[in-house]
């Protein structure tokens, strides 16, 4: 698959998720920004940064686990690697923008904004986070990509619930996608191989979650 095809597919899906999010929010009695969780949120800058770093750690741990298990080979993630591998500074810009800005922001609007916030009012936060993570994983296609997306969806759901806003999720998702694209394009790997990436990633993710748990919340805007 060509890099341009990857980018256009991501933007097409992003447009669909964004349209569904806006339509769903418009049908709600709440103001659009409030319904989708676009307010400033409750976490300060330090807690937010720690949450994003934790997400990056979890992403690398999930990728390492899939590689160790052998699930990654032949998966959609492997095909994505093949499409983006070795791209130059100019060639990578379109896929980078599509995946890091378009896909990440639109997915957070739909999954953590529209779906999770709506389900949380009816089922409670833990069930809403889990259900939406399952759906988030399912829409990512094959088993390997789906498992990784489900894992990250749980983390992003907890991040959205703790922050009271999806802004941090949008930023974290965008940064994670950007890092993934740049790593593949430039051939960057975590030093030491998959085992250090798995163990270190889990440790960083737990550190990020613990920071969210213990951080005193500021007033939500």
pLDDT tens per residue, the chain (221 residues)?
899 999 999 999 999 999 999 999 999 989 999 999 999 998 999 999 999 999 999 999 999 999 999 999 889 999 999 999 999 999 999 999 999 999 999 999 999 999 999 999 999 999 999 999 999 999 998 999 999 999 999 999 999 999 999 999 999 999 999 999 999 999 998 888 999 999 999 999 999 998 877 554 443 43
- Please, where are the H alpha helices in the chain? 3-27, 32-35, 45-69, 76-84, 93-97, 104-107, 116-123, 125-138, 143-163, 167-186, 194-214
Tokens 């951080």 belong to residue: 215
Q: Is 174 helix (H, G, I), strand (E, B) or coil?
A: helix
Neighbours of 30 (CB within 10 A): 10
177 and 103 Cβ atoms separated by less than 8 Å: yes
CA distances to 13, 30, 44 from 220, in Å? 31, 16, 10
Neighbours of 4 (CB within 10 A): 13
Q: Is 78 exposed, middle or buried (0-12, 13-18, 19+ CB in 10 A)?
A: middle
**Is pTM, for the whole model, over 0.85?**
yes
Q: How far apart are CA 70 and CA 33, in angstroms?
A: 42
């Amino acid at each position: 698959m060509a890099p341009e095809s990857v980018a256009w597919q991501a933007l097409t899906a992003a447009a669909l998720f964004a349209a569904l999010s806006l339509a769903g929010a418009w049908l709600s009695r709440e103001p659009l920004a409030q319904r989708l969780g676009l307010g400033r949120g409750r976490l300060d800058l330090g807690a937010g940064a720690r949450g994003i770093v934790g997400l990056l750690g979890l992403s690398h741990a999930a990728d390492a686990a899939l590689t160790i298990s052998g699930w990654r080979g032949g998966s959609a993630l492997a095909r994505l690697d093949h499409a983006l591998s070795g791209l130059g500074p100019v060639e990578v810009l379109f896929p980078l923008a599509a995946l890091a800005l378009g896909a990440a922001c639109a997915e957070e609007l739909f999954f953590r904004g529209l779906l999770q916030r709506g389900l949380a009012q009816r089922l409670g936060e833990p069930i809403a986070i889990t259900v939406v993570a399952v759906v988030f994983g399912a829409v990512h296609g094959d088993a390997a990509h789906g498992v990784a997306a489900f894992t990250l969806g749980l983390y992003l759901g907890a991040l959205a619930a703790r922050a009271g806003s999806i802004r941090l999720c949008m930023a974290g998702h965008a940064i994670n996608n950007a890092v993934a694209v740049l790593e593949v394009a430039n051939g960057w790997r975590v030093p030491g191989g998959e085992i250090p990436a798995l163990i270190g990633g889990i440790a960083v993710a737990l550190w990020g979650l613990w920071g969210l748990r213990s951080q005193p919340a500021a007033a939500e805007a």
